[in-house]
Amino acid sequence: MKKFLVFIGALLFFSCSSDDMANTDNTGDLNASGFVGNTAWIQNFGGSGDDSPRSVVPTTDGGFVVFGFTNSTDGDLANKALNVNDYWLLKFDAEGGLEWQKTYGGSKDDRGQQAIQTSDGGYALTGYAMSDDGDGSNNEGFHDNWVLKLDAFGNILWEKSFGFSGHDHSYDIIETVDGGFFFSGFLDVTSSNGEGSTEKSSLAAHGVGEFWGTRLDADGNLLWRKYFGGTNNDRSFGVMNANDGGFILSGASESDDFDISNSKGSYDYWVVKVDKNGNMEWERSFGGTGIDQSHDITKTMDGAYAIIGNTFSTDIQISKNNGESDIWLVKFDENGELLWEQNYGGPAFDAARSISLSKDGGFIISGNSKSIGNDLISNFGENDLWIIKTTASGELQWQKTIGGTGLDFGYDAFETDEGALIFIGETASTDFPDINHLGGIDLVVLKLE
C-alpha cells in the first residue's frame, strides 16, 4: 500500500497527556516539525453493523480517502438498502471533514481492500465480490476480483470482475506507467482447474491457491494475467511497480515446490519479480521454520524494497522474537537479496498490515498489538491499534498504541504535508477513547501530530 509519505525528521520522546487516554510512547529524536504524537482528533463512522477500513490514501487536494467495506444500513449508512457487505469509500478534506461517501456492490458479500488515486484525479478500487447485480455486472462463482474505476466524485466510470468458480481475492492495485492498472491477489486454482493465465501455464491444476497478477489497460480491458505458486496456499497481498518496468508481488506462501525454490518453513514471506509481460524473473522466500506472513510492500529511497507482516519464527532469517508473534520488517534489493531484517513486539500477538516510506527514508508501520512489554509500553485490552515509526535502517524511533477493552485493529496510515499522521483502523470496543460507539465494528480515523 504504496504511499510515499512526508514524515519530517526523527521523532521526540513524549509522555502521555492527561487528556489523551490512549497515548503511549517510546524514545526518539526531536522532530523538526514538532511532532509529539498527541491525538489531534478521533472520528468514527458506521452504523449498528460492522464497518471496517482497509486503506487510506492522500489526495491531491490535500485531503484523503478511506476505503473498506460495510454491512450497516443505518447511522452513516442510512441510504444503504441491504445489510450485506458493500465496498465503502469516504472522501475527507484536509481538516478531516467528511465531504462525501459512497457504497458499491450488490445483494451479496463485496469487500473492498485497496484504493488509489489515479493520475486523472479519479480513483481505482479493488477487492473481492460475490455480487452479479447492483453495481456489479458479472460473477463467475463465490468471490471474484472486482475492480472499479471512478471519477473524482466517486461515480463509476467502469467496473470489471475477474474470477472462476472458486474464491478469488484481490488485495492490492497500482497504476502502471502507461496509465493502465495491475492488481494482485489470490487465485483458487483448484476451482479454476488450472485456468487463470493468458498463456498456457507450466503448472497443472494443483494446490489450494496461487499468487495472481492481472494487467489491465486504462479502460479495464484485460492485457494479461499470470499465476505463481506451489501445491499449497500462496497469496499475494501487495504489489509494486519495479524499477525496470516490471512488477514485484509480495505475500505469503505455504508451498515448497513448483515455483517456490527455497522454502524456509510452514509459511514464508514470498516475493515474485515479473517483467512487464508477466514472465517470472526471480522469486525469494524469507522467514524461519514457523509461520511468517507478509502483508504489504513499499519501495525505499535507494531503489530497494521493504515488506512487512508478522512472524512466529525464532530461527533461520529471524534474528530474534519477543514473544508469540512479532511484526517483522525485511529489506531486500532489486535482485531479491536480503539486506537486513528487524522485528518489533512484545510477549503476545503483534502483527502489521501496512508500511509506508517517510520523507527521512524511514518507515511508518500500521498494525495491532496484544502485548505489553519489550517494545510496547501500554495495552488497553485485547488488540490495540499500533503505529510505529522507524529509521531507514529499521531502528524503532517512536510507537503508539490506541484502543479500548475490546478488539481493535489498525490497517493503514499516511503522513500529511504538515508532518501529522492520518491513521485508520476498526474498533469493537464500547470504550474506545473520544468516540461514541455506534455498534458492531466501527471505522475509526485518527490524526496524530
137 assigned to some structural domain? yes
Structure confidence by residue, pLDDT tens digits, 111-137: 999 999 999 999 999 999 999 999 999
Record the pTM: 0.92
**Extended beta strands in 333-432, E state:** 338-344, 350-357, 363-369, 384-390, 396-402, 408-415, 421-427
| Structural domain boundaries, residue 337 | 39-448
**Extended beta strands in 72-154, E state:** 86-92, 98-104, 110-117, 123-129, 144-150
Q: What pLDDT, on a 0 to 100 scale, did the predictor assign at position 34? A: 65
What CATH number is given to the structural domain containing 166?
Answer: 2.130.10.10
- State the virtual CA torsion across 265, 271, 272, 273 in degrees, nearest 10: -140
The vertex-412 CA angle with 410 and 415, nearest 5°, equals 125
Percent of the chain surpassing pLDDT 90 = 87
Query: Closest Cα partner for 421 from 24, 25, 41?
Result: 41
Structure confidence by residue, pLDDT tens digits, 189-217: 999 988 999 875 544 556 788 999 999 99
Query: Closest Cα partner for 104 from 96, 115, 117?
Result: 115
- State the virtual CA torsion across 51, 56, 60, 61 in degrees, nearest 10: 40
283 assigned to some structural domain? yes
Q: What span, in angstroms and rounded, lies between the C-alpha atoms of 267 and 64?
A: 35
Beta-carbon-side half-sphere exposure of residue 378 (alpha carbons within 13 Å): 18
CA 348, distance to chain mean position in Å, is 22
29 assigned to some structural domain? no
CA distances from 439 to 48, 74, 406, 429 (A): 4, 10, 13, 9
240 assigned to some structural domain? yes
Domain count, the chain: 1
7 assigned to some structural domain? no
The string of DSSP codes covering 251-266 is EEE---STT-----SS
**Are 174 and 239 within 8 A, CB to CB?**
yes
Per-residue pLDDT of the chain (449 residues; tens, 9 = 90+): 443 333 333 332 222 332 333 333 332 332 445 678 899 999 999 999 999 999 999 999 999 999 999 999 999 999 999 999 999 999 999 999 999 999 999 999 999 999 999 999 999 999 999 999 999 999 999 999 999 999 999 999 999 999 999 999 999 999 999 999 999 999 999 999 889 998 755 445 567 889 999 999 999 999 999 999 999 999 999 999 999 999 999 999 999 999 999 999 999 999 999 999 999 999 999 999 999 999 999 999 999 999 999 999 999 999 999 999 999 999 999 999 999 999 999 999 999 999 999 888 899 999 999 999 999 999 999 999 999 999 999 999 999 999 999 999 999 999 998 889 999 999 999 999 999 999 999 999 999 99
Helix (H, G, I), strand (E, B) or coil at 75: helix
437 assigned to some structural domain? yes
Element (H, E) at 189: helix 189-192
Whether the CA torsion 333, 396, 10, 400 is positive or negative: it is positive
**Are 434 and 446 within 8 A, CB to CB?**
no
Whether the CA torsion 409, 24, 439, 153 is positive or negative: it is negative
Q: How many CB atoms lie within 10 A of CB 160?
A: 20
243 assigned to some structural domain? yes
Q: What span, in angstroms and rounded, lies between the C-alpha atoms of 312 and 362?
A: 24
What type of residue is 334?
E
193 assigned to some structural domain? yes
